[in-house]
Structure 1
Amino acid sequence: MGKAILVVLDGLSYQVAEHALGHLQAYCVAGRGALYRLECELPALSRPLYECILTGVTPIDSGVVHNDVVRLSTERSIFHYARDAGLSTAAAAYHWVSELYNRAPFLAARDRHSETPELPIQHGHFYYEDHYPDSHLFADAESLRLRFSPDFLLVHPMNIDDAGHKHGLDSSQYRNAARRADILLADHLQRWLDDGYQVMVTADHGMNNDRSHNGLLPEEREVPLFVLGLAFSLDPGARPKQTELCGTLCELLGVAHDKPLCQDLLK
């Protein structure tokens, strides 16, 4: 069985990811990573697309159709498959992820720091303010990784999305938030790879100049997928879908699942 880290850079449009993430692009230029363009499912909203990424189920089928659907998921997620296979799971993520897979509604005093081996996300640090610093979030994630050596780790920062809602797609604040996330990734990425993790870096949705997202514009729907690690084919012809990320991650972990996957991403 393998190990995998999924990084979801919330709200990052492909058109900004393509030019602003210099460290990740360096791996691609060196032939040690690849960048793909994904089209997010509809609606282009966060909670529905967390569910889509982590379960492979579209929002209209999952029933998580907007951000105010506060309940546990009724689908099986990567966390469920990994836990049931005897693997360990962890997440440093926005509190909506906790509400989908651990407990709903989120109660900060109970759920912010979670050590619950029986739940799908066994080790968790969950935040509930959109301006929670990405630097703290990456430190939270690395703390979980160093303490528990999880087989699957979700890393989910929010500052790119927060900057987009405050300033819009075509703003220095939005672009610089993406650049800062790239620098934070640079602190950890090679160490993760050296420790045997396969790494996927993507986004739930993009952003528009109205400082929102929920429509059909390319800048709202097109998001990046970077893949890094020895298990990936780096095939430039691969055409992964957002609904295939869950199954592909399950394949990387070596756990049984019944989700769609993009076989072309893998060796």
Structure 2
Amino acid sequence: MQNKVILVVLDGLNQQVAREGMGYLNGLVEQQKATYYPITSELPSLSRPLYECLLTGVTPIESGIVHNHVVRLSHHESVFSLAAKQSLTTAAAAYHWVSELYNRAPYDAKRDRHTHDQSLNIHNGIFYHWDHYPDEALFLDAEYLRHHYDPDFLLVHSMNIDDAGHRFGLNSAQYRNSARYADVVLSDFMPTWIAMGYQVLVTSDHGMNDDKSHGGLLAEERQVPLYVAGKGFSHQSADIKQTEICGLICQLLGLEHHKLFNPQCLL
């Protein structure tokens, strides 16, 4: 199987908030145009460790990326590196930590914010280093990359929900409304992606707690959503682990790989 894949990571999105507040994504599920799966994040439930988990299938304890201040390139094969080695085109509109994991570390905004280099794992990138970088700008960056470079794999990574959580906490109107707004922004793009035949995954790295943080074992910190849309998915009931999302993407892309994935999720 070979498809073009878009992975959307809505940083810091708690599962319950997604299920209760994101009308567009859940409307797709209700109309049987997408499928929802509950996911439990790996530990520690922190951003940089879980970017690595999502994109390599390796747990933080195994990867050594165990907190947000481990600034170095990944030591493992990622969706980006596997795709690049097998002559597929990659792109990312994402927070700068993704660039540090898979392209160059440390991030230099003057050099790396706009990246177009076929020798790197992420060939085409628009990276940002502001947690409040607007979601609407981020999705426009992603669309620019999709239109101009036609990537086989595109990562779209938003920070506004996480930023609101760190400022106001899980049980706040600001956090919930940030999730609702991301859902509205996503609704401007997903219909086109689905109509064009992309396989789309929308998930999060971790959730959020009432202390305006995350990192531990609380359900609200670990329980996150996964929505999938596209004809490459089976849309059947399945138990999916966060460590299997990388393998699912590799399988959809038709890559040769040794990543774990649940075959029940795919046609």
TM range (shorter): over 0.9
Deviations 1:166-218 (A, max 9, x none): 00001000000001110111000010111221000000000000000011110
Unaligned ranges ≥5, structure 1 = none
Equivalent AA in structure 1 for residue 99 of structure 2: S
Q: CA deviation at 1:163?
A: 0.2
Q: Shift of the alpha carbon at 1:26? A: 1.0
Match of 1:253 in 2: 253
Aligned AA (1:61)? E
Aligned residue in 1 for 2:265 = 265
Runs of 4+ in 1 over 6 A off after TM superposition: none
Which secondary structure state, in structure 1, belongs to the residue aligned with residue 201 of structure 2? strand
Matches of 1:181 and 1:266, distance apart in 2: 27
Identity %: 59
Q: Equivalents in 2 of 1:75, 1:21: separation in Å?
A: 34
Q: Following the alignment from structure 1 to structure 2, what is the Cα–Cα distance between the partners of residues 266 and 219?
A: 28
Residue 109 (structure 1) aligned with residue 94 (structure 2): no
State the TM-score, normalized to the length of structure 2: 0.99
Q: What residue number does 2:25 align with?
A: 24
Question: Structure 2 regions of 5+ residues with no counterpart?
Answer: none
Partner residue in 1 for 2:5: 4
Distance in 2 separating the partners of 1:234 and 1:179: 24
Q: CA deviation at 1:84?
A: 1.1
Task: Please give the alpha-carbon distance, in whole angstroms, between the structure 2 residues aligned to 1:251 and 1:21.
Answer: 28
SS at match of 1:126: strand
Distance (Å, rounded) in 1 between the aligned partners of 2:22 and 2:234: 21
Output the CA distance in 2 between the equivalents of 1:75 and 1:118. 17
Q: Which amino acid aligns with 2:257?
A: H
2:233 is the counterpart of 1:241: no
| CA positional deviation for 1:143 | 0.5
Letter aligned with residue 254 of structure 1? G
The residue number in structure 2 matching 1:133 is: 134
d(CA) in 2 for partners of 1:66 and 1:249? 25
Q: TM-score scaled by structure 1?
A: 0.99
In structure 2, the partner of 1:216 is 217
Distance 1:134 1:190 in 2: 17
Tell me which amino acid in the other structure corresponds to 1:91. A
| Per-residue Cα deviation, 1:95-148 (whole angstroms, up to 9, x for no partner) | 000000000000000000000111110000000010011111001001000101
- For 1:175, the equivalent position in structure 2 comes to 176
